[in-house]
Amino acid sequence: GAVVSQHPSWVICKSGTSVKIECRSLDFQATTMFWYRQFPKQSLMLMATSNEGSKATYEQGVEKDKFLINHASLTLSTLTVTSAHPEDSSFYICSARDSGRGPWGTQYFGPGTRLTVL
Amino acid sequence: QQQVKQSPQSLIVQKGGIPIINCAYENTAFDYFPWYQQFPGKGPALLIAIRPDVSEKKEGRFTISFNKSAKQFSLHIMDSQPGDSATYFCAAKSGNTPLVFGKGTRLSVIA
């Protein structure tokens, strides 16, 4: 149980285009989902927290107009990288908290999406 | 300011050895301390987690030791295997807040 999927697993796009990444909790409901970014050989950096049905909360330094987050249902959150540039190339990982366990719910992570912007 | 300090940055042990990874925190409001394992190109996977009301938790070959007064916790891997070679992250959170991660430890288990 507790599986989180991400799609696509990797994507290559041209500079200036937008890319959408989907995150789904497959066997549990997730009121809260998180989006992280990870550079090679570095730790996970929290970008934003999304709550179902409300606006996402972005961490300091993360451009909310560039990284659009939508959490439309209890099992789906999307991250759209708008007008992507090469510096946006990174490994993006989503995480979902099992709502059934309240705020103490474990965070489960997706397999990540490798974004390369040419 | 780094909220969770993890050491060492990298670690090499022989097969069968017991690698130990340490983490220290400052925020006394933290009440949940998980460890994640990450293989290259994959997302982190939850290994084991502990709450501050216990001093030790064991699951299979993985053990967390927790020292509340010292604000430290550590991961021990018993009888380590080459397949355990990965990056390990400690993390912590308080109530409803998102996890805060350490910088990670790259573990290599050599045969």
What is the tens place of the pLDDT at every residue in B1-38?
Answer: 568 999 999 999 999 999 999 999 999 999 999 999 99
Q: What DSSP state is assigned to residue B53?
A: T
Helices and strands per DSSP (H, E), number in chain A: 0, 11
Chain position carrying tokens 């009121």? A31
Whether B104 sits inside 8 A of A42 (CB atoms) is yes
In this prediction, residue B98 carries a pLDDT of 87
Q: Would you state the pLDDT for residue A104?
A: 62
Tokens linked to B11? 């670690």
- Between residues A99 and B66, which one has the greater pLDDT? B66
Out of A93, A104, A106, closest to residue B43 by CB: A93
Interface size between A and B, measured as CB pairs under 8 A: 48
- Name the β-bridge partners of B67: B72
Inter-chain touch B41–A46, beta carbons under 8 Å? no
Contact residues on chain B for A103, CB-CB shorter than 8 A: 95-96
For the cut 90, the answer to whether the pLDDT of residue A86 exceeds it is yes
Which of B32, B93, B99 is the mutation pick for testing A, counting most A CBs within 10 A?
B99
Question: Whole-angstrom distance between the N-terminal and C-terminal Cα of chain A?
Answer: 37
Q: Do A43 and B104 touch (CB under 8 A)?
A: yes
Mean pLDDT (chain B) is: 94
Residue B95, pLDDT above cutoff 90: no
pLDDT above 90: percentage of residues in chain B:
91
- To the nearest whole Å, the CA of A56 is away from the closest chain B CA by 13
Contact B60, B44 (CB under 8 A): no
What pLDDT is attached to residue A52? 85
DSSP alpha helices (H): ranges in B1-111? none
Put simply, the answer to whether B44 touches A44 (Cβ < 8 Å) is: yes
Residue whose tokens read 């759209």: A80
